[in-house]
A and B are shown apart, each in its own frame.
Chain A
Amino acid sequence: MNHLSLIIKREYLTKVRNKAFIIMTFLSPIIMVAIITLVSYLSQLNNDTVNTIEVLDESGVFFNHFENSKTLKYKLINGVSLEDAKFASEKSNNYGLLYIPKKENIDQYANTITFYSEDSPSISIMRSIENSIEEKVNTLKLQEAGIDAKLIEKLRIKVDTNLETFAGEKTSKLGSGLKLAFGGIAGYLLFMFIIIYGNMIMRSVIEEKTSRIIEVLISSVKPIKLLLGKIFGTTLAGITQFTAWVIIMILLSSVVSTIFGIDTTAAQTPQQQELLQESGGSQQLISEIFLEINNLPMTNLVIMFLFFFIGGYLLYSSLYAAIGAAVDSETDTQQFMLPILMPLILGMYVGFFTVIENPHGTVSQVFSYIPLTSPVVMLMRIPFGVPLWQQILSLVILFATFIATVWFAAKIYRVGILMYGKKASYKEIIKWLKY
């Protein structure tokens, strides 16, 4: 059998048979599903509690304007003094007491209303109270000025821009969100993959050094083959684990949601819920999502995802392997980890801040060519439509850098694996390149 395939096979089998690896493969998705379930359960629980707010409305203008919602109930109390109301409210289990004094001038309501509560009230509750009051005050002011509020409402027009590319593709804001989600997930996946399995490669290089088997090995195999075998073997193990995670997670979450009847999608942020309401119910949303997914450049996305994923991962893993060869134990790796993690984290930041703001701006473009950040940034840009030549150019740069890095890593590796008990500095490593 060919050396390379022998090495890949060994690396793969040792990784996959490792007890810690097996445990993590099964435990991680269980923990993930457990956490998601717990969060959904808790947020359902949270949604079930009804907060009662007592309203002492001396003005008599506002109370009818407060609308009870699922989680918030307003209770009018009248004919008591503020002191008594406060005292009673404190004793009760109510969320708080809203005090509206009587004022001659409507403008004075702007800063004379007080909310009393046990501790600081939640921002969302305060916002809903303030919204109600503001609306009423505005209506009153309009009346005072002799303007018909209903007329204003009639005149108000809500603008919903239709988005369309020059190529005639219809897009929507929902589509933008989806693109962002696709790009974000792809970039984040790559980021996680690099960190988890890059570290694994580094550890396995260090293991060969500390167990002193390395010299036995490289008297039979070229170091570059060992290096490549290690990278490919670990990558295959990583893909196996990832696939297992996805399958287990899907199975588990379907099992959990049927058994416990917990809707795992209930763990949504208020923004998502708003979006849901805006697009008129979940049924319509789902069909719209499918439409948008169909509109995404799917083939391009999948193919490029594979290429950038492989390229980016290989690039980083060869750096990780070089670090492993340069040090004697894992504790010595810190000083070399930072320059690797920096561009990776930078890529994530650029991806999540700049690309979202302006997918085709200068910063986004530049970072999607720099090889250390391009996998993450380009993966986030592609859903927004990047010309093919740009994607290919970026890929060419990426793979050219990968080849250069492997050459460079192999040099460090070749020298480093035979240096025992030496704590390498950057200066030392530069010297090794000349050996």
Chain B
Amino acid sequence: MENLLVANNVSKHFGDFRALNNITIEVQKGSVFGLLGPNGAGKTTLLRIINQITMPDAGEIILDGKPLHPDDIKHIGYLPEERGLYKSMKVGEQCMYLAQLKGLSKSEAKERLRYWFKRLEIDGWWNKKVQELSKGMAQKIQFVVTVLHQPKLLIFDEPFSGFDPINANLIKDEILRLRDEGATIIFSTHRMESVEEMCDHIALIHKSNKILDGKLIDIKRAYKSNTFEVGLQPKNSENIENILKDKFNISSTSFKSINNELQYNIKIQEDDSVNDLVNYLTTLGQLTHFVEVIPSANDIFIETVKNN
């Protein structure tokens, strides 16, 4: 797949503080790229560099095969984490202003705003002042303004903050729909369940360095520990733990079940066969539960950050 955006060895210092150190990321066309990292890791700085708000000290940004140009702002839609609207301005007027700043003509802006307002069921708000809106409502307006000019690259920094679950879902579906229509999405968040749901690719930044990068599925494969969650109703429950302990690396676990069974996490060697394990367990009794433990994005995040 072709890359829409490449950041090559981007570094940025603020005085003595190093915000980004030689960061390289590649964002594939039509993918959802998750930019993760603890607070203060440098994510926002990287996003600002991509948006040409801040200039990098070293390195370059390539958009669609060409170095980033000031005119490229019309190809990028950015929803910053610190976002707001003019409080005393009317919603419609404000949207028109922001859309025109992005290079849309008056009539284009109006037409598209009508479409989006209807789509997000906010068409009654055109003449309301922003200060009359709730936080969630204002977030919807900001979302519309970000995507209105149909940019090929959409950047969302914590897009779901301030939304109730219903509206968060609505926005999530809109983001995925935009991806399906061909947009590429960079997505920065702390909410790991939305990373899990939406991202094809992730990069983890910690203390201004990139410490993890790749397809989410590959990373998960790399982080799996050959551990299986097992539920067993043994024929002979005595000594079963010792028997298992002799053969495997086990630990106790608990999961919800309707059976009254013994619950273990069993870790096998990488070259051991899973089939052998299942066969062996069935000889001990009734196997009621057998699931591979797949590391969640959350686990990976915590583990990698801790190890660095």
Residues of chain A touching chain B, judged by Cβ–Cβ distance below 8 Å, are 1, 3, 6-7, 10, 14, 18, 207-208, 211-213, 215-222, 418, 420, 431, 434-435
Contact = CB atoms under 8 A, between A and B. Distances in A.
B212 interface: no
Contacts of B83: 212-213, 215-216
B88 interface: yes
Contacts of A6: 97, 100-101
Interface string B121-160: 0000000000000000000001001000000000000000
Contacts of B73: 219-220
A420 B86 contact: no
Nearest to B77: A219
B250 interface: no
Contact of A215 (B53, B76, B89, B145): B53
Given A211-B85, A215-B83, A219-B78, 20 more contacts: A3-B101, A6-B97, A6-B100, A10-B97, A14-B89, A212-B82, A212-B83, A213-B85, A215-B48, A215-B80, A215-B82, A216-B80, A216-B98, A219-B76, A220-B73, A221-B101, A222-B70, A418-B53, A431-B15, A435-B15
13 contacts: A6-B100, A7-B101, A10-B97, A207-B87, A211-B85, A211-B86, A213-B84, A215-B48, A215-B53, A216-B78, A220-B101, A418-B53, A418-B54
A215 B145 CA distance: 13
Contacts of A216: 78-80, 83-85, 98, 142, 145
Contacts of B54: 418
Interface in B48-100: 48, 51-54, 70, 73, 76, 78-80, 82-89, 97-98, 100
Contacts of B97: 6, 10
A208 B88 CA distance: 11
Contacts of A1: 100, 106
Given A219-B76, A435-B14, A211 B84 contact: yes
B102 interface: yes
Contacts of B145: 216
A420 B84 CA distance: 13
Interface of B: 14-15, 48, 51-54, 70, 73, 76, 78-80, 82-89, 97-98, 100-102, 106, 142, 145
Contacts of A215: 48, 53, 78, 80, 82-83
A212 B70 CA distance: 23
A217 B82 contact: no
A219 B53 contact: yes
Nearest to B78: A219
A379 B86 CA distance: 38
A219 B80 contact: yes
Contacts of A217: 98, 101
B61 to A, nearest CB: 14
Contacts of A418: 48, 53-54
Q: Enumerate the 8 nearest inter-chain pairs by beta-carbon distance, A residue then B residue, closest first.
A: A212-B84, A215-B80, A211-B84, A219-B78, A220-B101, A219-B51, A213-B84, A212-B82
Given A216-B142, A216-B145, A219-B76, A18 B101 contact: no
Contacts of B51: 219
A83 B72 CA distance: 99
Contacts of A221: 101
Nearest to B149: A220
B80 A14 contact: no
Contacts of A212: 82-84
A320 B83 CA distance: 24
Nearest to B103: A220
Contacts of B102: 220
A35 B298 CA distance: 70
Given A6-B101, A216-B145, A14 B86 contact: yes
A217 B101 CA distance: 8
Nearest to A226: B101
- A10, A212, A215, A431: which has the most chain B beta carbons within 10 Å? A215
A418 B82 CA distance: 9
A18 B129 CA distance: 13
A18 to B, nearest CB: 7
A215 B53 CA distance: 8
Contacts of A207: 86-87
Contacts of A211: 84-87
- A3, A207, A221, A435: which has the most chain B beta carbons within 10 Å? A435
A320 B238 CA distance: 82
A6 B94 CA distance: 12
A207 B85 CA distance: 10
Contacts of B78: 215-216, 219
A54 to B, nearest CB: 67
B58 to A, nearest CB: 14
B80 A18 contact: no
Given A213-B83, A215-B83, A220 B98 contact: yes
A217 B87 CA distance: 14
A31 B145 CA distance: 44
A215 B82 CA distance: 7
Contacts of B87: 207, 211
A426 to B, nearest CB: 15
Contacts of B48: 215, 418
- A220, A418, A420: which has the most chain B beta carbons within 10 Å? A220
Given A219-B51, A435-B14, A213 B101 contact: no
A14 B97 CA distance: 12
Nearest to A204: B86
A223 to B, nearest CB: 8
A221 B48 CA distance: 13
B53 A218 contact: yes
Contacts of A434: 15
A18 B84 contact: no
A14 B88 contact: yes
A435 B14 CA distance: 6
Contacts of A18: 88
Contacts of B142: 216
Contacts of A218: 53
A213 B102 CA distance: 14
A216 B52 CA distance: 12
A435 B101 CA distance: 26
Contacts of B76: 219
A7 B100 CA distance: 10
A309 B142 CA distance: 40
A178 B82 CA distance: 56
Contacts of B106: 1
Nearest to B97: A10
